[in-house]
């Protein structure tokens, strides 16, 4: 079957190829009308002819001609992770309203997979990239910036002045978590983190250590690093909890939602209870925190602000309008003491 071309549409509609191009490439305005210099009646006739003939616009060819694909890529470590899933959902909504298409992918904390994903999105002629870099991903992302593709880092940092950055102050977040437990009178406070070595977790670990040292609890710092793979991580946390009471541990800082879920699983397996056996400060939002009585204190990251700032910065970088100062955005997390079920959240301050 012969492929229908733009010339076929122009001939059938009795208009020029240029006019058809205007109509087929036009954006739809808020009023529902096409944003193009063509009489609305004529534009409607062109669209009806295109539909009747089965014409499909070649987006790849159009982007090559114009130099604009209005497509960006977002690569996170795990799109199934609720934190990244919420960011991706927000980015999709923001991008759609701005006329952009988004390609989503997960690196699974694997630099080789990240490298393959980078090659793939480059092939799709993306205009920009938003990425939560995995450890060892520097080479793959250097390839992107060397090709002149604007790139914004979220959640984690890597060296390179070419990158834009929208990062949460994770040192402060880890500090707040530990400081709250210290204010509650706990001294034997431990932290469970991952072996991954990503900067966000390293900063939270540093914040925990800073709070402990400031309070004269240097000798009580106890930092566990567990495996990233889920089943092994669950076993690691169960063993940590099993021995924690023998060490006199009173409370834990749990710096990710997944680690927090592993901790609740360990409580269940070992028949322990909050706050009788341990107290927690967790990270991000979860119904489990809210439904637990008392509500579990947790650090909440500004997910909407991360998505808004990342997309707006990327657009400025695409348009070459971002200043060096604008390329570095630092956001702050909040310590929430109350839950959304039955009471308004209370934000702690120090």
CB 137 within 8 A of CB 163: no
Query: Count of CB atoms within 10 A of residue 337's CB?
Result: 17
The residue segments making up the domain with residue 197 are 170-301+337-348
Question: Is residue 1 included in any domain, yes or no?
Answer: no
CB 50 within 8 A of CB 122: no
**Whether residues 176 and 164 fall in one domain:** no
Supply the pTM of this predicted model: 0.76
CB within 8 Å of 54: residues ≥ 6 apart: 4
Question: Is the model's pLDDT at 340 over the cut of 50?
Answer: no
Question: Is the model's pLDDT at 114 over the cut of 80?
Answer: yes
Range in 47-51, 251-255, 331-335 the model is least confident about: 47-51
> What is the rounded average pLDDT for all residues in the chain?
88
**Whether residues 177 and 160 fall in one domain:** no
CATH number at residue 115: 3.40.50.2300
Nearest-angstrom CA–CA distance, 43 and 59: 19
Closest CA to 310 of 152, 162, 168, 163: 152
pLDDT digits (tens, 9 = 90+) for 243-302: 998 889 999 999 999 999 999 999 999 999 888 999 999 999 888 888 887 889 999 999
CB 134 within 8 A of CB 160: no
Question: Hunting for tokens 């991008």 — which residue is that?
Answer: 95
pLDDT at 16: 87
| Helix-helix angle 230-247:257-270, to 10 degrees | 60
**Whether residues 75 and 105 fall in one domain:** yes
Q: How many domains does the chain have?
A: 3
**Whether residues 251 and 110 fall in one domain:** no
Q: Got the DSSP string for 262-291?
A: HHHHHHHHHT--TTTT-EEEEES--HHHHH
350 SS3 class: coil
Question: Hunting for tokens 């939560």 — which residue is that?
Answer: 132
Nearest-angstrom CA–CA distance, 317 and 152: 9
Closest CA to 190 of 170, 217, 216, 168: 217
* 61 or 114, which is more confident: 114
């Amino acid at each position: 079957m012969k492929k229908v071309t733009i010339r076929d549409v122009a001939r059938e509609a009795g208009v020029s190829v240029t006019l058809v191009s205007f109509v087929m490439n036009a954006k739809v305005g808020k009023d529902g009308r096409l944003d193009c210099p063509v009489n609305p009646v004529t534009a409607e006739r062109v669209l009806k002819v295109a539909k009747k003939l089965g014409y499909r616009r070649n987006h790849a060819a159009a982007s090559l001609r114009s130099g604009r694909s209005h497509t960006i890529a977002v690569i996170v470590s795990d799109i199934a992770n609720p934190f990244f899933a919420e960011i991706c959902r927000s980015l999709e909504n923001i991008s759609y309203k701005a006329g952009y298409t988004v390609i989503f992918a997960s690196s699974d904390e694997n630099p080789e997979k990240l490298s393959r994903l980078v090659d793939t999105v480059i092939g799709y002629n993306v205009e920009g990239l938003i990425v939560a870099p995995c450890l060892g991903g520097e080479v793959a992302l250097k390839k992107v910036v060397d090709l002149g593709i604007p790139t914004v880092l979220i959640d984690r940092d890597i060296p390179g002045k070419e990158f834009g950055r929208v990062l949460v102050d994770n040192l402060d977040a880890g500090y707040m978590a530990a400081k709250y437990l210290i204010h509650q009178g706990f001294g034997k406070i431990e932290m469970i983190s991952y072996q991954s070595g990503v900067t966000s977790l390293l900063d939270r670990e540093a914040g925990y250590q800073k709070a402990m040292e400031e309070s004269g609890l240097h000798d009580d710092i106890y930092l566990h690093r567990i495996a990233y793979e889920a089943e092994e991580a669950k076993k690691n946390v169960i063993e940590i909890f099993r021995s924690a009471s023998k060490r006199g541990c009173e409370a834990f800082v749990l710096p990710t939602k997944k680690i927090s879920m592993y901790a609740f699983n360990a409580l269940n397996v070992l028949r322990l209870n909050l706050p009788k056996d341990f107290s927690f400060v967790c990270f991000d939002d979860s119904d489990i925190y809210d439904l637990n009585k008392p509500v579990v204190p947790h650090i909440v990251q500004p997910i909407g602000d991360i998505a808004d700032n990342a997309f707006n910065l990327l657009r400025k970088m695409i348009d070459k309008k971002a200043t060096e100062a604008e390329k570095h955005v630092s956001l702050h997390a909040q310590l929430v003491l109350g839950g959304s079920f039955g009471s308004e959240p209370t934000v702690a301050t120090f």
